[in-house]
Structure 1
Amino acid sequence: MATKVDLDIIGTMCTMGPMDTNGHHWHHGRHKHQRHTVVPCTKTPSPSTAGALCIRHLCTTITMQSCDELHAPCIKSRILRKMHTFINNIIKWNTNKVVFKMGATGKSRLSVDLTIHFSAEIINSDKMQVYKGLDIVTNKITDTKKQGVTHYLLGEIDSDFDFTFENFCAQANCYIEKIISRGYVSIIIDGSNSYIEKLVKDPMFIFKSKYNSCFIWIDVDVSILDPFLRKKVDHMVQTGLVDEVRGIFSPEADYSKGIRQSIGVPEMDKYFREENKFDPCKDSTKKMLLESAVKENKVNTCNLVRHQLEKI
């Protein structure tokens, strides 16, 4: 049994170590004997790498007890220190390396920190963030928060284009090769697990035989995650979601293609169809319709995240 390295800071565990025969990763610390199912490494590390890291599987689980913890400077710095040896050993012993950042929240900020720290570049894998436009609805990282870090497949695709699994895999492979050729590490930020699964498992793209990879999963308890997501939707509404969606609204819109599939767009359809039918004295009805649309947005957002966690 390989030795585990645990990070236990205010309920945050960054664990690296073995999994049992059922694919479950066990760790100790603040929450003893907590179990997580994690995505296994796509390629077995060389003996020298495994020996240097004291691990058998390249996988990391970060369990958050608060969605704000990951953004605290002291927490981030300690996570980076603990991960420094881990990732640097991957870089030292492997030529072609890809790091996957997975989870429901905190991916973008932590990925930027890792990218700056480890000379890497980011590839987005969120199905809706690949499209141009609707920056609020799709929750794209802002230019300020990017801190100058290169982000590929972020706002690149025309909003009406039907971007498929095959399109993503082809583009991602091109960008991985480009990043590696420049001597950097590729960090793929998960948003759509189905894209990641297709990229890693599809034999046509021979990902497993080309790259060494590890997965970092930010795991947030549902009791913390659901209220966070609901507040997040409220913030999106306050910062302009309604006007942003109104800008692309069309009564004949097809919500099964392109960026109009984004949660927050179909939910507003009924409100936009009805909002101009009421005179000023019926503002209460408009308000009720908007509240209903926002509530539906929250429910669908939480359901999507739960589905993503199940796939992880």
Structure 2
Amino acid sequence: MKQKVIAIVGPTAVGKTKLSIEIAKRFNGEIISGDSMQVYSGMDIGTAKIKQEDTQGIPHHMIDIKEPDESFSVADFQYYVQKYFDEISARNHIPIIVGGSGLYIQAVLNDYHFADEKRDDAITKKLELELEQYGIEPLYRRLKEVDPTQANKIHPNNFRRVIRALEVYEKTSLTMTEYHMQQKTESPYESLLIGLEMERSLLYDRINRRIDIMIQEGLLEEVKLLIKKGYENSQSMKAIGYKELVPYFAGESSLEESIELLKRNSRRYAKRQYTWFKNKMNVNWYNLTPLTISEKFDEILVDLAGFIEVK
């Protein structure tokens, strides 16, 4: 019998955290953060981590397990989360993964085999030297020649993904597209995906208000401290919520410009999240409004009861 797993997905600020607490209380669950940035300690406000006083005693996992200058990949995420699935299920509790990082959640539920392809430092360094000497364009052109499908998914400025795709090809003679096609199509888990959505103007208003609250709660001080600790150029600081504010502290933009950019990038990210989950995963969607949230949550709990109780 497959392990049962609940996943709560949807865009930022839609209400996933609140729902996860209600589900965990009702069905004896434990919560796993599906946000790829909440793994970093000291990055609390900008990643919208749940406050300890709001957990209502429900165990939360995948939070504060890395320092901001440590690397963390989708393969790492998969390893840790699947380990938590086993541990939580062994306690006869229900694992509830909550978040908006679509690729990460998909990799866990579909058991992608990232570990089979280790990094090849020699190839990576060679490609990085080419990048330094000639820029990204020749590398991107090469990727378009060998794997146009993957090239179309990668922005030319995302040199890390361009290099990774070429590295896989040079090492294995398989394109990244061919590699992905070899992945399992049947999940090893019996999962139910709950998706929360909201009319766009309502959601965007919630996103804007959430960012205003983050500023009030000390997001600027959080970013300033991370810069002071030497994390400014770390990969973690490229995340939305942090990268927009670094130029302010460098004197390159005004605070108003940085906050407006943060709001814009957050709204655009929400749109991309919708697109990912609707196109790539089998999600049961529930449309929320400020007046119907409680009613919809009750409906979701009823729907989940059948999933949990069926043996």
TM-score, shorter chain, exceeding 0.5: yes
CA distance in structure 2 between the aligned counterparts of 1:123 and 1:264, rounded to whole angstroms: 21
CA distance in structure 2 between the aligned counterparts of 1:96 and 1:199, rounded to whole angstroms: 13
Amino acid in structure 2 at the alignment position of 1:269 = V
Shift of 1:102: 0.7
Task: Provide Cα deviations, 1:160-183, integer angstroms capped at 9, x if missing partner.
Answer: 111101100010110000001110
Answering whether residue 175 of structure 2 is matched by residue 266 of structure 1, we say no
CA distance in structure 1 between the aligned counterparts of 2:111 and 2:65, rounded to whole angstroms: 24
SS at match of 1:191: coil
Q: Is the 8 A contact 2:248 2:254 kept in 1?
A: yes
Shift of 1:296: 0.6
Task: Provide Cα deviations, 1:42-69, integer angstroms capped at 9, x if missing partner.
Answer: xxxxxxxxxxxxxxxxxxxxxxxxxxxx
Name 1:199's counterpart in structure 2.
108
CA distance in structure 1 between the aligned counterparts of 2:49 and 2:258, rounded to whole angstroms: 21
Shift of 1:111: 0.3
Name 1:130's counterpart in structure 2.
39
Amino acid in structure 2 at the alignment position of 1:138 = T
Name 2:83's counterpart in structure 1.
174
* Bigger strand share: 1
Name 1:299's counterpart in structure 2.
264
Task: Give the counterpart of 2:225 among 232, 247, 264.
Answer: 247
Amino acid in structure 2 at the alignment position of 1:229 = I
Name 1:149's counterpart in structure 2.
58
SS at match of 2:44: coil
- Displaced runs of 4 or more, over 2 A: 200-210, 250-256
CA distance in structure 1 between the aligned counterparts of 2:103 and 2:233, rounded to whole angstroms: 19
Task: Provide Cα deviations, 1:136-157, integer angstroms capped at 9, x if missing partner.
Answer: 1111010111011111101222
Give the direction of change, closer, same or farther, for the CA distance of 1:254–1:208 in structure 2 (3 Å limit). Answer: farther
Give the direction of change, closer, same or farther, for the CA distance of 1:255–1:309 in structure 2 (3 Å limit). Answer: farther
Amino acid in structure 2 at the alignment position of 1:268 = L
Amino acid in structure 1 at the alignment position of 2:8 = K
Name 2:98's counterpart in structure 1.
189
Give the direction of change, closer, same or farther, for the CA distance of 1:159–1:95 in structure 2 (3 Å limit). Answer: same
CA distance in structure 1 between the aligned counterparts of 2:273 and 2:185, rounded to whole angstroms: 22
Q: Is the 8 A contact 1:130 1:153 kept in 2?
A: yes
Shift of 1:191: 2.2
Name 1:52's counterpart in structure 2.
none
Q: Is the 8 A contact 1:255 1:266 kept in 2?
A: no
* Bigger helix share: 2
CA distance in structure 2 between the aligned counterparts of 1:247 and 1:253, rounded to whole angstroms: 9
Report matched runs for 1:17-96 at 5 Å: 96=3
Q: TM-score, normalised by structure 2?
A: 0.62
Name 2:201's counterpart in structure 1.
223
Shift of 1:134: 1.9
Q: Is the 8 A contact 2:6 2:194 kept in 1?
A: yes
CA distance in structure 1 between the aligned counterparts of 2:226 and 2:51, rounded to whole angstroms: 21
Q: Is the 8 A contact 1:129 1:138 kept in 2?
A: yes
Name 1:103's counterpart in structure 2.
10
Name 1:140's counterpart in structure 2.
49
Name 1:235's counterpart in structure 2.
213
SS at match of 1:266: coil
CA distance in structure 2 between the aligned counterparts of 1:154 and 1:108, rounded to whole angstroms: 14
User: CA-atom RMSD, angstroms?
Assistant: 2.2
Give the direction of change, closer, same or farther, for the CA distance of 1:169–1:150 in structure 2 (3 Å limit). Answer: same
Q: Which has the higher contact order (CA 8 A, sep 6+)?
A: 2
CA distance in structure 2 between the aligned counterparts of 1:118 and 1:140, rounded to whole angstroms: 22
Name 1:42's counterpart in structure 2.
none
Task: Provide Cα deviations, 1:227-249, integer angstroms capped at 9, x if missing partner.
Answer: 11011111111111111111111
Amino acid in structure 1 at the alignment position of 2:245 = M
Answering whether residue 192 of structure 2 is matched by residue 214 of structure 1, we say yes
Q: Is the 8 A contact 1:121 1:187 kept in 2?
A: yes
Structure 2 portions without partners, runs of 5+: 115-183, 278-311
Give the direction of change, closer, same or farther, for the CA distance of 1:253–1:299 in structure 2 (3 Å limit). Answer: same
SS at match of 1:160: coil
Q: TM-score, normalised by structure 1?
A: 0.62
Shift of 1:124: 0.7
CA distance in structure 2 between the aligned counterparts of 1:120 and 1:252, rounded to whole angstroms: 38
